């Protein structure tokens, strides 16, 4: 594949679609009636804690697992029960899974040789691919002589060189250190836009998913909890799980007091009423229990009485104040005993409140959301990434 080549991708056309896909292992449901559509040329991520079914979903699309029920359609063709070697899909495996008995060249050429591509063509494409992953001249190296980052690039090259309709990536960066991972994220995104191939990326790392994806889904317990562009999903979380898994959220329990066209009022347990845009309330019935959320960086904090506040307002006392360089993190305890976390950027504007001081918290109504409380308690294991 050369830099000038353009792939015949119709943006927006459906690349792969899953309908009602369920997978259970010995009666345990790993993926539960999943419906998902990925468009051509998208960088799409499946994000979720370990055990949420994201890898199983990827393995079913790759052909390594058969769904218990449901259908997988790839490029208009039903591939639900098609063997992996008959699918126009390639995978970058978590452990890279390079062939230890072959050198770099033969590893990258493996797929092309199976497709009986002419020798000269193989040579040209492998060479061009090694350029793209920034490892030219590595043809004769043995794969076990390469560093983790290099092996990862070879695994990527080995899959991409076949120009598949869809590239699956199964936590490909989990073995890399943080710095290298960050660098590879940027590189991977740029390679994807250059080659124009649809990427389906599986990760438990929310930052990674947000950095690279055009769209993403957040999965939990085999189901989709949220879907959309990273900004959509972050700013307008659809469930309590999404709100806590993707970034941090302050969530306060309350009941819907009244519902208007534009604004819904939620009464907190301590008597305060918060206003939420009706479009951002997951359930509309008056009297139903919800959790009202606001992101820590959306909140303004100031010493009580120092300014007039607009929007939603809460009062409390600073329990912990931590200086992080780029800003301050406050944990503010309200009269109800609930804690609210606030990130204030270090722009040198205001005098930072100190521990023990009475403060007022305020934020614009449009940054407030309300979600239904999760049916199953969210464990700390699920949030650790």
Partner 1 sequence: MEQPLPAHHPGGVGSPRRHRGRGKGLAPYLLSLPAGLWLLVLFVVPLFIMLSITLKTCSPASGACVMTWQWGELPHVVNQYRGQFVTSLVFAFFATLIDLVISFPIAYWIAFYGGRRKNFFLIMLLVPFFVSFIIRTLVWEFILSNNGVVLSFLRGNHLVPSSFHVLGTGLAVVAGLAYNYLPFTALPLYVALERIDRRVLNAANDLYATRRVTFMRVILPLAIPGIFAAFLLTFIPAFGDYVNQEILGGTSNTMIGTVIQNLFLIDSDYAGGASLSAVLLVISLLGIWLYARLLGSRTIEEYL
**Among 11, 12, 76, 100, contact with partner 1 (rule: CB under 8 A):** 100
Q: How far apart are CA 61 and CA 152, in angstroms?
A: 21
Residue from 268, 352, 360 nearest 314 by CA = 360
| Least distance in angstroms from the C-beta of 51 to partner 1 | 19
Minimal distance, residue 84 CB to partner 1, in Å: 4
Interaction pattern, residues 49-78, with partner 1; x per rule: CB under 8 A: -------------xxx--------------
How many residues in the shown chain lie near partner 1 by CB under 8 A?
Answer: 23
Going edge to edge, which strands form the sheet with 166-170? 89-92, 166-170, 198-203, 43-47, 215-220, 223-228
* Residue 101 is a binding residue for partner 1 (CB under 8 A): yes
Question: With CB under 8 A as the contact rule, which of the stretches 91-99, 127-135, 273-281, 289-297 interacts with partner 1?
Answer: 91-99
**Nearest residue (CB) to partner 1, 85 versus 285:** 85
CB nearer to partner 1: give 114 or 354.
114
Q: Is 25 in the site for partner 1 (CB under 8 A)?
A: no
Q: Does 110 bind partner 1 (CB under 8 A)?
A: yes
Give the residue with the Cβ less far from partner 1, 132 or 359: 132
Phi-psi category of residue 374: left, alpha or beta, with phi > 0 → left and psi -120 to 50 → alpha: beta
∠ at Cα 351 (350, 354), nearest 5°?
135
CA 347, CA 327: separation in Å to the nearest integer?
8
CA distance 190 to 385: 25
**For residues 112 and 210, which CB has a smaller minimum distance to partner 1 in the complex?**
112
- Given the structure tokens 């845009």, which residue do they identify? 277
What's the CA gap between 324 and 301, in Å, rounded? 16
In the complex, least distance from residue 176 CB atom to partner 1, rounded to whole angstroms = 17
Angle at 328 between CA 178 and CA 346, to 5 degrees: 90
Minimum Å gap between C-beta 4 and partner 1 is: 26
Separation in Å, CA 382 to CA 71, 222, 262, 347: 28, 13, 34, 34
* Contact characters 157-196, partner 1, x per CB under 8 A: -xx--x----------------------------------
Footprint of partner 1 (CB under 8 A): 62-64, 83-85, 89-91, 93, 95, 97-101, 110-111, 114-115, 158-159, 162
């Amino acid at each position: 594949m050369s830099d000038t080549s353009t792939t015949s991708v119709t943006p927006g056309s459906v690349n792969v679609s899953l309908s009602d896909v369920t997978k259970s292992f010995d009666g345990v449901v790993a993926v539960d009636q999943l419906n998902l559509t990925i468009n051509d040329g998208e960088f799409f991520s499946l994000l979720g804690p370990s055990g949420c079914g994201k890898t199983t979903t990827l393995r079913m699309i790759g052909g390594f697992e058969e769904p218990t029920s449901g259908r997988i359609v790839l490029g208009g063709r039903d591939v639900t029960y098609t063997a992996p070697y008959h699918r126009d899909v390639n995978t970058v495996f978590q452990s890279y899974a390079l062939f230890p008995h072959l050198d770099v060249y033969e590893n990258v050429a493996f797929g092309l040789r199976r497709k009986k591509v002419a020798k000269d063509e193989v040579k040209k494409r492998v060479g061009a691919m090694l350029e793209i992953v920034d490892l030219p001249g590595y043809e004769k190296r043995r794969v076990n002589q390469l560093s983790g980052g290099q092996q990862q690039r070879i695994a990527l090259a080995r899959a991409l060189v076949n120009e598949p309709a869809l590239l699956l990536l199964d936590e490909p960066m989990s073995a890399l250190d943080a710095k290298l991972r960050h660098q590879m994220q940027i590189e991977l995104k740029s390679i994807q836009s250059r080659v124009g191939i649809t990427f389906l990326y599986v990760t438990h790392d929310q930052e990674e998913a947000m950095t690279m994806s055009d769209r993403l889904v957040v999965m939990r317990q085999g189901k989709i909890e949220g879907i959309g562009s990273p900004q959509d999903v972050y700013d307008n979380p659809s469930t309590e799980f999404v709100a806590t898994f993707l970034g941090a959220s302050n969530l306060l329990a309350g009941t819907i007091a009244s519902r208007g066209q534009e604004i819904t009022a939620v009464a907190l347990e301590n008597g305060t009423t918060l206003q939420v845009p009706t479009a951002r309330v997951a359930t509309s019935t008056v009297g139903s229990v919800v959790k009202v959320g606001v992101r820590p960086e959306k909140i303004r904090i100031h010493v009580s009485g120092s300014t007039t506040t607009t929007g939603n307002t809460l009062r409390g006392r600073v329990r912990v104040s931590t200086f992080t360089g780029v800003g301050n993190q406050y944990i503010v305890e309200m009269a109800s005993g609930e804690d609210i976390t606030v990130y204030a950027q270090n722009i040198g504007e205001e005098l930072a409140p100190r521990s023990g001081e009475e403060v007022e918290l305020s934020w614009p109504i449009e940054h407030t959301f309300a979600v239904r409380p999760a049916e199953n308690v969210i464990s700390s294991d699920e949030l650790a990434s």
